[in-house]
Amino acid sequence: MRRSEEKALIIGAGPAGLATASLLRRLDAIVFEEHREPGVPPHCTGLVGHGTMLFYKELAGPRVVEQRYNTITYHVYGEKPLTLRWEKPVAYRLKRPLLEQRLRDRAEKLGHRVETGTRIRRAWSRGVEDDGGRSYRGLVVDAEGALNRIAVAHGQERNRHIYGVQRIIGYDGEENHIHVFFTPLTPRFFAWLVPLGGGEALLGYAEEKPGLIDKAVVKHVSREMGIGEPRVKAMYGGLIPVNPPGRPVSRGVYFIGDSASMLKPFTGGGLYAISRLASPLAKALEEARPEIYIEAAEKLLAQLRREHRAVNMIRLIGYHRAMKLFTRLAENGLEVSAEDYDQHQRVATKALILLLKKPWILLLPRHRAGPANTPQDPSRET
């Protein structure tokens, strides 16, 4: 039964806001979205691990899971590429903005309102005000995404960002095979090539000042892949927060998703934390007990904060240098499983144990990349 006197006011119709609304059964919600259509313009690659995929598939239906990948090649600058292949998919691609559309349908079927073209300019602990000066009373959830203006007014840290840039290009390589590129061009992140199926792929990268390196990254990826100058069909991008997660509840407002930087720090994946936190948040709102959400969120956020500390060190030395160690370990017994996709701390722990057992791995030489080594060449695979 709904508590008719109460409402949830959710700022932002991204995955965080819409997943939360579509889990609310005992409380009415209004989701405010400044754009005309949720999820448009797009920015995200949509890659997630198995558990995260199951969460969104359950909520939004099987069609949002567009692609499965069981092979990843790591191209580390100056080294022979390393290809890891799994029997089952290790990563999935969720189709956005179909994800937002399906979550919106579900929320509306439950009786919630999604107010598109409505920008919230101000929020307080028990209400919000839109750009037209209309105010609404209720429990406030800030799911405004990476540019967290409202969050800052409620005591959260202003997000620091890197910029992700993606191109849809023509591509006829293996459809279940992701490539990631670690080079001095993107020392604080990496570049990627993710097949979309149907003769297309996403070629993307993220860095602090993408304009300066854009052409060089595209050239590097094309050369590594042996694909010539890519045929670009579309281009888009967005902000990826790089600061540690903030608080789940601050000054009476609930936070979920990028608005409080709840991302996996190494890859910038935000869909994972949302999948873990939307249910406890919905429960806390329905029962008007913030402690339910705070307890669930703090467990996950403590983990993400630890990962942040490790990733900050990696950023200092450069992703491309840190990944040299990873490829050596992976060639010498480090087992990376499908579950590790969303749980990077598991890889770190396994790496540490392996290094304690076999410290001489650090001294092993690796073959440097040669021009004959193309990713399609199986002789490159280990």
Binding stretches for ligand FAD (CB under 6 A): 11-17, 32-35, 38, 43-48, 119-120, 143-146, 164, 166, 204, 237-240, 257-259, 263, 268-272
Query: In whole angstroms, how close is the CB of 269 to ligand FAD at the nearest point?
Result: 3
Query: In whole angstroms, how close is the CB of 36 to ligand FAD at the nearest point?
Result: 10
Residue 90 to residue 87: CA distance in whole angstroms = 9
Let me know how many helices (H) and strands (E) the chain has, helices first: 9, 19
Query: In whole angstroms, how close is the CB of 144 to ligand FAD at the nearest point?
Result: 4
Phi and psi at residue 191, in whole multiples of 5°? -115, 160
Helix (H) or strand (E) holding 117: none
136: how many CB neighbours lie within 10 A of its CB? 18
Using an 8 Å Cβ cutoff, are 71 and 175 in contact? Answer: no
316: how many CB neighbours lie within 10 A of its CB? 11
Query: In whole angstroms, how close is the CB of 357 to ligand FAD at the nearest point?
Result: 33
Using an 8 Å Cβ cutoff, are 159 and 261 in contact? Answer: yes
Please, which residue, 166 or 183, has the CB nearer to ligand FAD?
A: 166
Which residue's CB atom is positioned nearest to ligand FAD? Answer: 270
Please, which residue, 132 or 365, has the CB nearer to ligand FAD?
A: 132
Please, which residue, 133 or 359, has the CB nearer to ligand FAD?
A: 133
Please, which residue, 65 or 240, has the CB nearer to ligand FAD?
A: 240
Please, which residue, 43 or 328, has the CB nearer to ligand FAD?
A: 43
Using an 8 Å Cβ cutoff, are 37 and 51 in contact? Answer: no
Query: In whole angstroms, how close is the CB of 208 to ligand FAD at the nearest point?
Result: 13
Assign residue 323 a region (left: φ > 0; alpha: ψ between -120 and 50; beta: otherwise): alpha
Query: In whole angstroms, how close is the CB of 372 to ligand FAD at the nearest point?
Result: 32
Please, which residue, 103 or 334, has the CB nearer to ligand FAD?
A: 103
